[in-house]
Amino acid sequence: MTTFKYRGAEYNLEPTSPPEQHQADRTAQYRGQTYQVADENASVPQPVMGMIYRGVSYRTSPSNGSTVIRSKEDARSVKPTPIQTQLSSLAGPRPGGSAELHRRNLLQSLQRRLAIAKAKGDRYLMLQLQEELEVLTGAVLSKSCGENASILYRLID
């Protein structure tokens, strides 16, 4: 029996016998080389082990793979957590939809860019931004185009 230690936990390893050698069912040839083909249905023997991962016990057996062993206390302590299925409920209500929100964000960005162009005194950039506003709003910039347009008009003057 060999004793191992990993991160403070000690493990005992009992050496197992090597797997039994089975006689090959058929002979095959590939690129001139002859070799024996083993039975595809032969099962690989698995060692019986008891393991613990994050407080949950697992046991492997040669016949059925691994099984989870839980105590009644573990089953009682696990409570389901509700999952939010609608992303909109996390973000909150959006009046006017996402298209209106996007349009408002574009107008705010345009206002900021116009203020910078006015501070620099760049008339050419201000004309370009005015054309961008016309494309965005679909109307010529005037004092009667609404709240955002009137703010932009004041920035240009």
**What does the alpha-carbon distance between residue 23 and residue 26 come to, in Å, rounded to a whole number?**
9
**Tens digits of per-residue pLDDT, 77-99?**
655 555 555 455 555 555 667 88
Q: Which residues contact 126 (CB under 8 A, 6 or more apart)?
A: 114, 117, 118, 156
Is 114 exposed, middle or buried, given 0-12, 13-18 or 19+ CB atoms closer than 10 A? buried
- CA dist 110 and 153 (Å) reads 12
- pLDDT tens-digit series, residues 41-78: 666 666 666 777 777 777 776 665 556 555 555 555 65
Q: The tokens 């099984």 sit on which residue?
A: 67
pLDDT in tens, 97-151: 788 888 888 888 998 998 999 999 998 999 999 888 888 877 544 444 455 555 5
Q: Is the pTM of this model over 0.85?
A: no
